[in-house]
Structure 1
Amino acid sequence: MTIGIHWNNQLSQGEITVTHDGLSRDDGLVTLVLICLFTDARADADDIIPDGSGDPRGWPGDTFSDAPWGSKLWLLDREKLTGSVRQRVEDYASLSMEPLLRAGYARSATVTATVSGYDRINFIVILTRPDKSHLRIDISKRWEATANAL
Protein backbone atom coordinates (compact mmCIF):
# COMPACT_ATOMS: atom_id res chain seq x y z
CA MET A 1 0.00 0.00 0.00
CA THR A 2 1.21 3.50 -0.83
CA ILE A 3 -0.10 6.68 0.73
CA GLY A 4 0.70 9.97 -0.96
CA ILE A 5 -0.45 13.50 -1.59
CA HIS A 6 -1.68 14.44 -5.05
CA TRP A 7 -1.88 18.15 -5.90
CA ASN A 8 -5.09 19.26 -7.60
CA ASN A 9 -4.28 22.45 -9.59
CA GLN A 10 -7.96 23.29 -10.18
CA LEU A 11 -8.78 23.21 -6.46
CA SER A 12 -5.35 24.53 -5.35
CA GLN A 13 -5.12 21.89 -2.68
CA GLY A 14 -3.58 18.53 -1.93
CA GLU A 15 -5.60 15.34 -1.79
CA ILE A 16 -4.45 12.25 0.07
CA THR A 17 -4.33 9.18 -2.14
CA VAL A 18 -4.06 5.55 -1.17
CA THR A 19 -3.08 2.96 -3.75
CA HIS A 20 -2.60 -0.78 -3.51
CA ASP A 21 -0.42 -3.30 -5.34
CA GLY A 22 2.29 -0.83 -6.36
CA LEU A 23 0.13 1.28 -8.67
CA SER A 24 1.51 4.57 -7.42
CA ARG A 25 4.49 5.69 -9.49
CA ASP A 26 5.59 8.94 -7.81
CA ASP A 27 8.10 7.10 -5.54
CA GLY A 28 7.29 9.52 -2.75
CA LEU A 29 9.25 12.51 -4.07
CA VAL A 30 6.15 14.39 -5.22
CA THR A 31 4.61 13.90 -1.80
CA LEU A 32 7.82 15.07 -0.11
CA VAL A 33 7.91 18.21 -2.28
CA LEU A 34 4.31 19.04 -1.31
CA ILE A 35 5.12 18.49 2.36
CA CYS A 36 8.19 20.74 2.07
CA LEU A 37 6.24 23.51 0.33
CA PHE A 38 3.01 23.49 2.31
CA THR A 39 4.04 22.56 5.84
CA ASP A 40 4.59 25.69 7.93
CA ALA A 41 8.21 26.30 8.90
CA ARG A 42 8.75 28.04 12.21
CA ALA A 43 9.13 31.81 11.87
CA ASP A 44 12.34 33.42 13.01
CA ALA A 45 12.27 36.07 15.75
CA ASP A 46 12.61 38.87 13.16
CA ASP A 47 9.83 37.58 10.86
CA ILE A 48 6.54 39.49 10.83
CA ILE A 49 3.59 37.24 11.66
CA PRO A 50 0.83 38.13 9.16
CA ASP A 51 -2.14 37.71 11.50
CA GLY A 52 -0.47 39.66 14.33
CA SER A 53 -0.90 36.77 16.77
CA GLY A 54 2.81 36.29 17.44
CA ASP A 55 2.41 32.53 16.84
CA PRO A 56 5.57 31.39 15.01
CA ARG A 57 3.87 28.14 13.94
CA GLY A 58 6.25 25.42 12.82
CA TRP A 59 5.89 21.69 12.43
CA PRO A 60 6.00 19.70 15.69
CA GLY A 61 8.02 16.97 13.96
CA ASP A 62 10.97 19.37 13.83
CA THR A 63 11.53 18.47 17.48
CA PHE A 64 12.84 15.12 16.26
CA SER A 65 14.74 16.40 13.23
CA ASP A 66 18.26 17.78 12.94
CA ALA A 67 16.96 20.57 10.71
CA PRO A 68 13.50 22.08 10.13
CA TRP A 69 11.06 21.02 7.42
CA GLY A 70 8.49 23.17 5.68
CA SER A 71 8.41 26.64 4.20
CA LYS A 72 7.70 30.16 5.30
CA LEU A 73 5.16 30.67 2.52
CA TRP A 74 2.53 31.12 5.22
CA LEU A 75 4.22 34.39 6.21
CA LEU A 76 3.06 35.84 2.89
CA ASP A 77 -0.62 34.92 3.38
CA ARG A 78 -1.80 38.53 3.52
CA GLU A 79 0.54 39.99 0.91
CA LYS A 80 -0.61 41.18 -2.51
CA LEU A 81 0.88 39.15 -5.32
CA THR A 82 3.55 41.58 -6.60
CA GLY A 83 6.92 41.01 -8.23
CA SER A 84 8.77 41.30 -4.93
CA VAL A 85 6.36 38.89 -3.23
CA ARG A 86 6.81 36.47 -6.16
CA GLN A 87 10.56 36.58 -5.52
CA ARG A 88 10.05 35.88 -1.80
CA VAL A 89 7.72 32.99 -2.70
CA GLU A 90 10.43 31.55 -4.94
CA ASP A 91 13.10 32.04 -2.26
CA TYR A 92 10.99 30.43 0.50
CA ALA A 93 10.03 27.55 -1.80
CA SER A 94 13.65 26.97 -2.81
CA LEU A 95 14.78 26.93 0.82
CA SER A 96 12.05 24.44 1.66
CA MET A 97 13.72 21.86 -0.63
CA GLU A 98 16.84 21.70 1.59
CA PRO A 99 15.68 18.63 3.58
CA LEU A 100 15.45 16.65 0.34
CA LEU A 101 19.03 17.56 -0.50
CA ARG A 102 20.35 16.86 3.01
CA ALA A 103 18.68 13.46 3.09
CA GLY A 104 20.06 12.55 -0.33
CA TYR A 105 16.65 12.21 -2.01
CA ALA A 106 17.79 14.72 -4.62
CA ARG A 107 21.14 15.98 -5.85
CA SER A 108 19.73 19.40 -6.66
CA ALA A 109 16.44 21.26 -6.63
CA THR A 110 15.36 24.37 -8.48
CA VAL A 111 12.12 26.21 -7.98
CA THR A 112 10.69 28.81 -10.32
CA ALA A 113 7.61 30.78 -9.32
CA THR A 114 5.56 32.82 -11.77
CA VAL A 115 2.49 34.96 -11.30
CA SER A 116 -0.46 33.87 -13.40
CA GLY A 117 -3.16 36.49 -13.26
CA TYR A 118 -3.97 38.44 -10.12
CA ASP A 119 -4.86 35.42 -7.95
CA ARG A 120 -2.62 32.52 -8.94
CA ILE A 121 1.01 31.58 -8.55
CA ASN A 122 2.65 28.70 -10.38
CA PHE A 123 5.59 26.69 -9.13
CA ILE A 124 7.87 24.56 -11.26
CA VAL A 125 10.02 22.33 -9.09
CA ILE A 126 12.77 20.39 -10.84
CA LEU A 127 14.61 17.78 -8.82
CA THR A 128 17.70 15.96 -9.97
CA ARG A 129 17.56 12.50 -8.43
CA PRO A 130 20.68 10.68 -7.19
CA ASP A 131 20.76 8.72 -10.49
CA LYS A 132 20.84 12.11 -12.33
CA SER A 133 17.33 11.68 -13.77
CA HIS A 134 14.98 14.65 -13.44
CA LEU A 135 11.56 14.99 -11.91
CA ARG A 136 9.45 18.02 -12.82
CA ILE A 137 6.49 18.96 -10.66
CA ASP A 138 4.07 21.69 -11.79
CA ILE A 139 1.91 23.28 -9.11
CA SER A 140 -0.64 26.02 -9.57
CA LYS A 141 -1.87 27.61 -6.35
CA ARG A 142 -4.62 30.11 -5.81
CA TRP A 143 -3.27 33.16 -4.01
CA GLU A 144 -5.61 33.48 -1.06
CA ALA A 145 -4.71 37.05 -0.06
CA THR A 146 -6.04 38.39 -3.36
CA ALA A 147 -9.05 36.07 -3.41
CA ASN A 148 -10.08 36.99 0.13
CA ALA A 149 -9.79 40.71 -0.60
CA LEU A 150 -12.51 40.58 -3.27
Structure 2
Amino acid sequence: MSTGIDAKLTLDSDNIWTMTLTEDGDIETEDAFETYIIVALFTDIRADGSEVATSENRRGWIGNEETPGFEMGSKLWLLDQADVTPANVNLSEEYALQALSKMVEEELALSVRVDSSGTHEGIQIAVEIIRPDSSVFLRYFNLWENTGK
Protein backbone atom coordinates (compact mmCIF):
# COMPACT_ATOMS: atom_id res chain seq x y z
CA MET A 1 0.00 0.00 0.00
CA SER A 2 1.41 3.35 -0.97
CA THR A 3 0.57 6.44 1.04
CA GLY A 4 1.50 8.73 -1.83
CA ILE A 5 4.52 10.77 -2.75
CA ASP A 6 6.07 13.38 -0.49
CA ALA A 7 9.26 15.40 -0.15
CA LYS A 8 12.17 13.26 0.97
CA LEU A 9 13.51 14.30 4.37
CA THR A 10 17.19 13.70 5.05
CA LEU A 11 19.12 14.18 8.27
CA ASP A 12 22.02 16.53 7.54
CA SER A 13 25.40 16.77 9.28
CA ASP A 14 23.95 19.25 11.81
CA ASN A 15 21.20 16.76 12.80
CA ILE A 16 18.50 18.82 11.08
CA TRP A 17 15.88 17.19 8.86
CA THR A 18 15.89 18.92 5.47
CA MET A 19 14.41 18.43 2.02
CA THR A 20 16.95 17.38 -0.56
CA LEU A 21 17.23 18.40 -4.18
CA THR A 22 17.94 16.25 -7.20
CA GLU A 23 20.74 17.09 -9.64
CA ASP A 24 18.06 18.84 -11.75
CA GLY A 25 17.11 21.10 -8.84
CA ASP A 26 13.78 19.41 -8.15
CA ILE A 27 12.75 18.38 -4.66
CA GLU A 28 13.65 14.73 -4.19
CA THR A 29 10.61 12.58 -3.43
CA GLU A 30 9.88 9.32 -1.66
CA ASP A 31 6.94 7.27 -0.49
CA ALA A 32 5.04 9.47 1.98
CA PHE A 33 5.08 6.57 4.44
CA GLU A 34 8.62 7.36 5.59
CA THR A 35 7.92 11.11 5.69
CA TYR A 36 4.92 10.40 7.93
CA ILE A 37 7.15 8.51 10.36
CA ILE A 38 9.75 11.28 10.54
CA VAL A 39 7.11 13.98 11.01
CA ALA A 40 5.26 11.92 13.63
CA LEU A 41 8.42 11.36 15.66
CA PHE A 42 10.13 14.72 15.32
CA THR A 43 7.29 17.25 15.27
CA ASP A 44 6.69 18.61 18.75
CA ILE A 45 3.33 17.72 20.24
CA ARG A 46 2.14 20.00 23.02
CA ALA A 47 3.08 18.95 26.56
CA ASP A 48 0.49 19.14 29.30
CA GLY A 49 0.74 21.10 32.54
CA SER A 50 2.11 18.18 34.54
CA GLU A 51 5.06 17.88 32.12
CA VAL A 52 5.88 21.57 31.59
CA ALA A 53 4.52 24.05 34.12
CA THR A 54 4.73 27.26 32.07
CA SER A 55 2.17 27.18 29.25
CA GLU A 56 4.30 29.16 26.77
CA ASN A 57 7.05 26.54 27.11
CA ARG A 58 4.82 23.58 26.23
CA ARG A 59 5.62 23.88 22.52
CA GLY A 60 3.36 22.07 20.09
CA TRP A 61 2.71 22.28 16.37
CA ILE A 62 0.30 24.96 15.21
CA GLY A 63 -1.27 22.57 12.69
CA ASN A 64 -2.68 20.53 15.57
CA GLU A 65 -4.91 23.47 16.52
CA GLU A 66 -6.93 22.97 13.33
CA THR A 67 -7.60 19.25 13.76
CA PRO A 68 -9.59 18.59 16.94
CA GLY A 69 -9.14 15.03 18.14
CA PHE A 70 -5.98 14.44 16.11
CA GLU A 71 -2.50 15.58 16.99
CA MET A 72 0.59 14.89 14.92
CA GLY A 73 3.94 14.68 16.65
CA SER A 74 5.58 13.26 19.73
CA LYS A 75 6.83 14.27 23.14
CA LEU A 76 10.36 13.10 22.35
CA TRP A 77 11.41 16.75 22.53
CA LEU A 78 10.89 16.59 26.31
CA LEU A 79 13.96 14.33 26.46
CA ASP A 80 16.33 16.36 24.31
CA GLN A 81 18.33 17.59 27.32
CA ALA A 82 17.72 14.59 29.55
CA ASP A 83 20.34 12.18 30.82
CA VAL A 84 20.37 8.71 29.28
CA THR A 85 18.78 6.78 32.14
CA PRO A 86 16.62 3.64 32.05
CA ALA A 87 13.57 5.78 32.86
CA ASN A 88 14.25 8.15 29.95
CA VAL A 89 14.97 5.28 27.57
CA ASN A 90 11.55 3.84 28.52
CA LEU A 91 9.91 7.25 28.04
CA SER A 92 11.45 7.57 24.57
CA GLU A 93 9.93 4.24 23.63
CA GLU A 94 6.54 5.26 25.03
CA TYR A 95 6.55 8.64 23.26
CA ALA A 96 7.58 7.12 19.92
CA LEU A 97 4.94 4.40 20.15
CA GLN A 98 2.24 6.96 21.00
CA ALA A 99 3.22 9.03 17.95
CA LEU A 100 3.29 6.08 15.55
CA SER A 101 0.25 4.18 16.83
CA LYS A 102 -1.94 6.55 14.80
CA MET A 103 -0.67 4.72 11.72
CA VAL A 104 -2.58 1.62 12.83
CA GLU A 105 -5.71 3.66 13.58
CA GLU A 106 -5.49 5.18 10.08
CA GLU A 107 -4.91 1.73 8.53
CA LEU A 108 -1.49 2.75 7.21
CA ALA A 109 0.06 -0.08 9.24
CA LEU A 110 -0.99 -3.42 10.66
CA SER A 111 1.32 -3.07 13.64
CA VAL A 112 3.99 -0.80 15.08
CA ARG A 113 6.81 -1.83 17.39
CA VAL A 114 9.37 0.45 18.99
CA ASP A 115 12.45 -0.60 20.95
CA SER A 116 14.65 2.00 22.63
CA SER A 117 18.11 1.54 24.02
CA GLY A 118 20.64 3.73 25.72
CA THR A 119 23.98 3.97 23.94
CA HIS A 120 27.23 5.76 24.72
CA GLU A 121 26.05 8.48 22.31
CA GLY A 122 22.45 8.92 23.46
CA ILE A 123 19.20 7.07 22.89
CA GLN A 124 18.55 4.92 19.83
CA ILE A 125 15.06 3.85 18.83
CA ALA A 126 14.32 1.02 16.45
CA VAL A 127 11.01 1.31 14.62
CA GLU A 128 9.44 -1.75 13.02
CA ILE A 129 6.19 -1.30 11.13
CA ILE A 130 4.24 -4.01 9.34
CA ARG A 131 2.48 -2.41 6.40
CA PRO A 132 -0.93 -3.52 5.10
CA ASP A 133 0.78 -5.43 2.26
CA SER A 134 2.77 -7.33 4.96
CA SER A 135 6.05 -5.67 4.02
CA VAL A 136 8.27 -4.66 6.92
CA PHE A 137 9.66 -1.19 7.46
CA LEU A 138 12.64 -1.08 9.83
CA ARG A 139 14.54 2.09 10.68
CA TYR A 140 16.85 3.23 13.46
CA PHE A 141 16.94 6.77 14.79
CA ASN A 142 19.62 8.20 17.07
CA LEU A 143 18.10 10.76 19.39
CA TRP A 144 20.16 13.73 20.49
CA GLU A 145 23.60 12.23 20.23
CA ASN A 146 25.97 13.29 22.99
CA THR A 147 23.12 14.43 25.24
CA GLY A 148 23.35 13.64 28.91
CA LYS A 149 27.12 13.24 29.07
User: What TM-score do the two structures reach when normalised by structure 1?
Assistant: 0.79
SS in 1 for 2:142: strand
CA contact (8 A) 1:123 1:139 kept: yes
The answer to whether 1:73 aligns with 2:72 is no
Distance 2:146 2:119 in 1: 13
User: Which 4+ runs in 1 deviate beyond 6 A?
Assistant: none
Name 1:39's counterpart in structure 2. Answer: 43
CA deviations on 1:32-78 (whole Å, 9 max, x unpaired) are 111111100111121135xx675211111112323111111111233
In structure 2, the CA distance between the partners of 1:141 and 1:134, relative to structure 1 (3 Å rule), is same
User: What TM-score do the two structures reach when normalised by structure 2?
Assistant: 0.79
Distance 2:139 2:11 in 1: 10
The answer to whether 1:105 aligns with 2:108 is yes
CA contact (8 A) 1:106 1:129 kept: yes
Identity among equivalent pairs (%): 27
The answer to whether 1:48 aligns with 2:57 is no
Name 1:116's counterpart in structure 2. Answer: 119
Counterpart code for 2:123: I
In structure 2, the CA distance between the partners of 1:93 and 1:70, relative to structure 1 (3 Å rule), is same
Counterpart code for 1:39: T
Q: Give unmatched runs, 5+ long, in structure 1.
A: none
CA contact (8 A) 2:112 2:128 kept: yes
Spell out the pairing of 1:81-92 with structure 2 (5 A cutoff). 81-92=84-95
Name 2:129's counterpart in structure 1. Answer: 127
Name 1:15's counterpart in structure 2. Answer: 18
Name 2:31's counterpart in structure 1. Answer: 27
Q: How many residues align?
A: 141
SS in 2 for 1:146: coil
Counterpart code for 1:41: I
Distance 2:6 2:48 in 1: 35
2:60 to 52, 58, 61: 58
CA RMSD of aligned residues (A): 2.6
